[in-house]
Structure 1
Amino acid sequence: MTELGRPTTAHPLAAGAPGLSIDWAGVTDVGLRRAHNEDSYVAEAPVFVVADGMGGHSAGDVASDAVVRRIAEAAVRDSLSTDELEEALRRATADIAVAAAETELGVGTTATGVFLSGEDGEAEFTVFNVGDSRVYLVADGALQQITVDHSVVQEMVDAGLLRAEDAESHPDSNVITRAVGFDVDQRPDYWRIPARAGLRLLVCSDGLTKELSGSDIERVLAEQPESHAAASALVRAAVEAGGRDNVTAVVVDVRGTATELPEA
């Protein structure tokens, strides 16, 4: 387990978003059934990323650590580009290959999150995903899943072979089809979201979504307007609901400042 960054409030967005700032916080828990926490996260502007490692013993921890550290190293400016992210993932893949040299089954990790980006002075978030960790958006009180899982059950849902509500209980619900590692160069899927006041983003591992339904997540987020309290409440609720896996949540809130521009 690696935790990078600390809860922060009122961090101003870059030029192009006057009057906007962001709050954020990340929280993780080993859960009730795992001996080790193989989740890692980085929550420090401009990047907010969750990585859920796999490989057994400490190998998954090493893989998730490689992803968040390499992405954090790439975040040297107020924003990040997709090219910089992909180079960070390639470096992480090389790191993971070294760690996996003595394992038979291979080592990998999900890599999911958001980073501040934007062109022509427009502030926005770029959402990316490899694996089955997720990014959710809350706008006007409604929860929306942004990322699409790279998993066997998601492919079955897309093909009409499985109902979405039955996916989590399917025997293959833990089988993912894409990951960072395994000596494979993976290109993430991307989505772009304009930054505006009132926007809330949640990045989480599947230890959260396997215990809490979308309506549960929406309810907890609605009850907790502060970023750190929201992340803590989500992780606590998932552990109390069963805690079958490691649980990680990173919450990012876009705030509007109280200062108004003077009239011309």
Structure 2
Amino acid sequence: MLAETAIKIKDLTVAYHGDPVLYNISTEFYYGNRTAIVGPNGAGKSTLLKASLGLTKSLTGQANFYIQGKALNIDQAYKHIAFVPQAQSVDWTFPASVFDVVLMGRYGHLGLGKRPRKADKDIATKNLEKVGLTDFKDRQIAQLSGGQRQRVFLARAFCQEADIIILDEPLAGVDIKTEEIIMDLLSQEAKTGKAIIAVHHDLNTVSQYFDRVLMMNRELIASGPVDQCLTPETIQSAYSQSQGPVQSREGSVDL
């Protein structure tokens, strides 16, 4: 039985300075699943996320987010979506404590100008404990290791209590122990019915960490269950060409 749709992307095309970097991407992501987005450098993986979230302008196409079965655009659905950006895109010199950063995950639930309540702070404390950083709550984020920073941003995402969690290379630059901690936490979230979507760079661990995979190189190569879509043929199709559009292999599936 097919899981419930969380995001449906249709005919998404994006260009930078007149140069198309995504070509007519159409795919779906599902609740209760962990989906890896994989492809070579320059394949448009991060661009796909940003265009879907309205952070990058698209030439054509759109993304709809399904909340309680209702299709919403990003402006309507943003409270139900948590986004963890690439670590290098974050200003780690910003003078904020670990607890302050995690508590930011509650701001979407507050009215304009309202301060966090005790309940919000309790949720932040609970999620700091979940990622194993309670002892670091008063530390400045600039003082943390790369793996600890990733766990802080994961705790912030959990604080949003979002239905859909989207992560851009959450395992980049972390050690194997932290990698396993992060993926175990995301697996727990998927088991509660949430949709987990992550740009991922290590093909060797896709089958270990994810249920589904989206293989791309500017165009969609394959999308579906890992055991059906992560094949020598799709890998060759995605990684053998670094420039221009590539053609989807016959037999690629989008289940």
TM-score using structure 2 length = 0.33
Structure showing the higher helix proportion among its residues: 2
How high is the TM-score relative to the length of structure 1? 0.32
